[in-house]
Amino acid sequence: MVKNARTPARREDSLSRERIVDAAIELLDSAGEGGLTFRALSDKLATGPGAIYWHVANKGDLLVAACDAVVSATMDACPDGDTPGDTLRALALGMFDAMDAHPWIGSALIQSAGQLPAVRLFERIGRQVQALGVPREGQWGAASTLLHYVLGVGGQNAANRLSARTRDLDRDDFLGEVADAWAGLEEADYPFMRSVAAQMRDHDDRADFLAGVDLILAGIQAGAGRGARATGSLSR
Protein backbone atom coordinates (compact mmCIF):
# COMPACT_ATOMS: atom_id res chain seq x y z
CA MET A 1 0.00 0.00 0.00
CA VAL A 2 1.35 3.38 -1.00
CA LYS A 3 1.26 5.99 1.74
CA ASN A 4 0.42 9.57 0.85
CA ALA A 5 3.32 11.43 2.37
CA ARG A 6 2.46 14.94 3.54
CA THR A 7 4.90 17.54 2.33
CA PRO A 8 5.20 20.96 3.97
CA ALA A 9 3.56 23.83 2.14
CA ARG A 10 6.00 25.81 0.05
CA ARG A 11 5.84 29.47 -0.79
CA GLU A 12 4.92 30.06 -4.40
CA ASP A 13 7.27 33.05 -4.54
CA SER A 14 10.94 32.38 -3.96
CA LEU A 15 12.72 34.03 -1.08
CA SER A 16 15.28 36.58 -2.22
CA ARG A 17 17.56 39.12 -0.57
CA GLU A 18 15.39 41.87 -2.03
CA ARG A 19 12.22 40.45 -0.47
CA ILE A 20 14.00 40.08 2.86
CA VAL A 21 15.22 43.68 2.74
CA ASP A 22 11.74 44.96 1.84
CA ALA A 23 10.25 43.08 4.78
CA ALA A 24 12.98 44.40 7.07
CA ILE A 25 12.17 47.98 6.03
CA GLU A 26 8.51 47.41 6.89
CA LEU A 27 9.47 46.09 10.33
CA LEU A 28 11.86 48.97 10.94
CA ASP A 29 9.21 51.51 9.94
CA SER A 30 6.60 49.99 12.24
CA ALA A 31 8.68 48.91 15.23
CA GLY A 32 12.06 50.62 14.95
CA GLU A 33 15.47 49.00 15.10
CA GLY A 34 14.55 47.11 18.25
CA GLY A 35 11.69 45.42 16.41
CA LEU A 36 13.94 44.05 13.68
CA THR A 37 14.60 40.49 14.82
CA PHE A 38 15.08 37.35 12.77
CA ARG A 39 12.11 35.81 14.59
CA ALA A 40 9.84 38.69 13.56
CA LEU A 41 11.25 38.61 10.06
CA SER A 42 10.70 34.85 9.81
CA ASP A 43 7.07 35.27 10.88
CA LYS A 44 6.54 38.05 8.38
CA LEU A 45 8.04 36.06 5.51
CA ALA A 46 6.53 32.73 6.63
CA THR A 47 9.89 31.02 6.50
CA GLY A 48 12.59 29.77 8.84
CA PRO A 49 15.57 31.80 10.10
CA GLY A 50 17.93 29.49 8.21
CA ALA A 51 16.49 30.58 4.88
CA ILE A 52 17.06 34.22 5.81
CA TYR A 53 20.63 33.56 6.96
CA TRP A 54 21.31 32.16 3.52
CA HIS A 55 20.89 35.70 2.13
CA VAL A 56 22.07 37.95 5.00
CA ALA A 57 24.84 37.32 7.51
CA ASN A 58 23.35 38.99 10.58
CA LYS A 59 21.19 41.85 11.80
CA GLY A 60 23.93 44.40 11.14
CA ASP A 61 24.23 43.27 7.52
CA LEU A 62 20.45 43.45 7.16
CA LEU A 63 20.26 46.96 8.67
CA VAL A 64 22.92 48.23 6.27
CA ALA A 65 21.12 46.62 3.32
CA ALA A 66 17.79 48.16 4.35
CA CYS A 67 19.41 51.56 4.79
CA ASP A 68 21.11 51.29 1.40
CA ALA A 69 17.84 50.37 -0.29
CA VAL A 70 16.16 53.52 1.04
CA VAL A 71 19.15 55.75 0.23
CA SER A 72 19.44 54.34 -3.29
CA ALA A 73 15.74 54.84 -3.99
CA THR A 74 15.91 58.39 -2.63
CA MET A 75 18.91 59.27 -4.78
CA ASP A 76 17.29 57.76 -7.88
CA ALA A 77 14.27 59.98 -7.27
CA CYS A 78 16.50 63.09 -7.10
CA PRO A 79 17.89 63.62 -10.61
CA ASP A 80 20.53 66.27 -11.26
CA GLY A 81 19.18 69.82 -11.42
CA ASP A 82 20.16 72.70 -13.69
CA THR A 83 23.02 73.65 -11.34
CA PRO A 84 25.09 71.79 -8.73
CA GLY A 85 23.36 73.85 -6.06
CA ASP A 86 19.93 72.76 -7.34
CA THR A 87 21.06 69.14 -7.28
CA LEU A 88 22.34 69.45 -3.71
CA ARG A 89 19.11 71.10 -2.53
CA ALA A 90 16.99 68.37 -4.11
CA LEU A 91 19.20 65.63 -2.69
CA ALA A 92 19.23 67.17 0.78
CA LEU A 93 15.46 67.59 0.81
CA GLY A 94 14.98 64.06 -0.52
CA MET A 95 17.07 62.67 2.33
CA PHE A 96 15.23 64.85 4.86
CA ASP A 97 11.91 63.43 3.67
CA ALA A 98 13.31 59.88 3.63
CA MET A 99 14.43 60.19 7.25
CA ASP A 100 11.06 61.65 8.16
CA ALA A 101 9.31 58.66 6.56
CA HIS A 102 11.86 56.14 7.92
CA PRO A 103 13.02 57.56 11.29
CA TRP A 104 15.59 54.78 11.80
CA ILE A 105 17.59 55.88 8.74
CA GLY A 106 19.52 58.64 10.51
CA SER A 107 21.11 56.42 13.15
CA ALA A 108 21.59 53.62 10.61
CA LEU A 109 23.58 55.93 8.34
CA ILE A 110 25.76 57.07 11.23
CA GLN A 111 26.34 53.45 12.29
CA SER A 112 27.23 52.51 8.72
CA ALA A 113 29.86 55.22 8.26
CA GLY A 114 32.39 53.86 5.78
CA GLN A 115 29.87 51.38 4.36
CA LEU A 116 27.89 51.65 1.14
CA PRO A 117 24.85 53.74 2.18
CA ALA A 118 26.90 56.59 3.67
CA VAL A 119 29.59 56.28 0.97
CA ARG A 120 26.95 56.45 -1.76
CA LEU A 121 25.50 59.65 -0.29
CA PHE A 122 28.91 61.22 0.36
CA GLU A 123 29.99 60.48 -3.23
CA ARG A 124 26.91 62.19 -4.66
CA ILE A 125 27.42 65.25 -2.47
CA GLY A 126 31.15 65.36 -3.21
CA ARG A 127 30.68 65.35 -6.97
CA GLN A 128 28.39 68.36 -6.74
CA VAL A 129 30.87 70.15 -4.47
CA GLN A 130 33.51 69.59 -7.14
CA ALA A 131 31.11 70.90 -9.79
CA LEU A 132 30.69 74.09 -7.73
CA GLY A 133 34.36 74.81 -8.36
CA VAL A 134 35.55 74.27 -4.80
CA PRO A 135 39.36 73.98 -4.72
CA ARG A 136 40.64 70.47 -4.07
CA GLU A 137 41.88 71.30 -0.58
CA GLY A 138 38.45 72.57 0.42
CA GLN A 139 36.31 69.77 -1.02
CA TRP A 140 36.53 67.44 1.99
CA GLY A 141 35.42 70.14 4.41
CA ALA A 142 32.59 71.38 2.20
CA ALA A 143 31.20 67.91 1.43
CA SER A 144 31.56 66.79 5.06
CA THR A 145 29.72 69.86 6.31
CA LEU A 146 26.80 69.23 3.97
CA LEU A 147 26.68 65.52 4.82
CA HIS A 148 26.72 66.12 8.57
CA TYR A 149 24.09 68.85 8.31
CA VAL A 150 21.74 66.61 6.32
CA LEU A 151 22.19 63.66 8.69
CA GLY A 152 22.14 65.77 11.85
CA VAL A 153 19.11 67.92 11.14
CA GLY A 154 17.22 65.17 9.34
CA GLY A 155 17.97 62.76 12.16
CA GLN A 156 16.89 65.26 14.83
CA ASN A 157 13.63 65.92 13.00
CA ALA A 158 12.98 62.18 12.88
CA ALA A 159 13.83 61.86 16.57
CA ASN A 160 11.34 64.62 17.39
CA ARG A 161 8.67 62.80 15.43
CA LEU A 162 9.36 59.57 17.31
CA SER A 163 9.30 61.38 20.64
CA ALA A 164 5.93 62.91 19.83
CA ARG A 165 4.59 59.55 18.64
CA THR A 166 5.75 57.84 21.83
CA ARG A 167 3.83 60.39 23.88
CA ASP A 168 0.82 60.19 21.55
CA LEU A 169 1.18 63.84 20.47
CA ASP A 170 0.65 65.20 16.98
CA ARG A 171 3.14 67.71 15.59
CA ASP A 172 1.14 70.79 16.58
CA ASP A 173 0.72 69.57 20.15
CA PHE A 174 4.41 68.68 20.40
CA LEU A 175 5.60 72.06 19.08
CA GLY A 176 3.07 73.88 21.22
CA GLU A 177 4.36 72.11 24.32
CA VAL A 178 7.96 73.08 23.52
CA ALA A 179 6.97 76.67 22.66
CA ASP A 180 5.10 77.04 25.95
CA ALA A 181 8.13 75.75 27.84
CA TRP A 182 10.41 78.26 26.08
CA ALA A 183 7.99 81.11 26.66
CA GLY A 184 7.98 80.29 30.38
CA LEU A 185 11.76 80.61 30.81
CA GLU A 186 13.26 83.41 32.86
CA GLU A 187 13.57 86.41 30.53
CA ALA A 188 16.79 87.63 32.15
CA ASP A 189 18.51 84.28 31.54
CA TYR A 190 16.96 83.25 28.21
CA PRO A 191 15.96 86.37 26.25
CA PHE A 192 16.61 84.80 22.86
CA MET A 193 14.74 81.55 23.54
CA ARG A 194 11.72 83.49 24.76
CA SER A 195 11.83 85.71 21.67
CA VAL A 196 11.67 82.75 19.26
CA ALA A 197 9.10 80.71 21.17
CA ALA A 198 6.30 81.73 18.82
CA GLN A 199 8.41 80.75 15.80
CA MET A 200 8.94 77.30 17.27
CA ARG A 201 5.18 76.86 17.40
CA ASP A 202 4.57 77.85 13.77
CA HIS A 203 7.78 76.98 11.90
CA ASP A 204 8.00 74.79 8.79
CA ASP A 205 10.57 72.01 9.27
CA ARG A 206 11.34 71.56 5.57
CA ALA A 207 11.64 75.30 4.91
CA ASP A 208 13.99 75.74 7.88
CA PHE A 209 16.04 72.77 6.71
CA LEU A 210 16.43 74.19 3.21
CA ALA A 211 17.34 77.60 4.64
CA GLY A 212 20.23 75.91 6.42
CA VAL A 213 21.32 74.16 3.22
CA ASP A 214 21.29 77.52 1.43
CA LEU A 215 23.44 79.09 4.16
CA ILE A 216 26.02 76.33 3.79
CA LEU A 217 25.95 76.56 -0.01
CA ALA A 218 26.39 80.34 0.12
CA GLY A 219 29.48 79.86 2.28
CA ILE A 220 30.86 77.14 -0.01
CA GLN A 221 30.31 79.23 -3.13
CA ALA A 222 31.82 82.31 -1.54
CA GLY A 223 34.87 80.29 -0.55
CA ALA A 224 35.15 78.84 -4.05
CA GLY A 225 34.99 82.35 -5.50
CA ARG A 226 37.75 83.58 -3.21
CA GLY A 227 39.88 80.58 -4.15
CA ALA A 228 39.40 81.24 -7.85
CA ARG A 229 40.33 84.90 -7.46
CA ALA A 230 43.42 84.02 -5.46
CA THR A 231 44.50 81.47 -8.07
CA GLY A 232 43.96 84.03 -10.82
CA SER A 233 46.06 86.66 -9.07
CA LEU A 234 48.92 84.22 -8.54
CA SER A 235 48.92 83.22 -12.20
CA ARG A 236 49.40 86.78 -13.41
Chain segment 107-147, per-residue pLDDT in tens: 888 888 788 899 999 999 999 999 999 999 999 999 999 99
Report the pLDDT averaged over residues 42-53. 92
Burial class (CB in 10 A: 0-12, 13-18, 19+), 153: buried
Q: How far is residue 121 from each of residues 30, 124, 136, 195, measured CA to CA in Å?
A: 25, 5, 19, 37
> Above 60 in pLDDT, residue 43?
yes
Chain segment 171-216, per-residue pLDDT in tens: 888 889 899 999 999 999 999 999 999 999 888 999 999 999 999 9
> Above 60 in pLDDT, residue 218?
yes
pLDDT for res 230? 52
Could you list the beta-strand ranges (E) of 53-210.
Answer: none
Between CA 186 and CA 78 the distance in angstroms is 45
Lowest mean pLDDT among 21-35, 63-77, 98-112, 217-231: 217-231
203-210: long-range pairs with CB below 8 Å, 24+: 203/175, 205/100, 205/157, 206/93, 206/96, 206/97, 209/92, 209/93, 209/96, 209/153, 209/154, 209/157, 210/89, 210/92, 210/93
Considering the domain delimited by 80-228, tell me its CATH architecture.
Answer: Orthogonal Bundle (1.10)
Segments making up each domain of the chain, as ranges = 80-228
More confident residue, 4 or 225: 225
pTM (2 d.p.):
0.83
User: Which of the 8 DSSP states describes residue 24?
Assistant: H
> Above 60 in pLDDT, residue 11?
no
Chain segment 189-200, per-residue pLDDT in tens: 999 999 999 999
Residue type, 83: T
pLDDT band at 8 (very low <50, low <70, confident <90, very high): very low
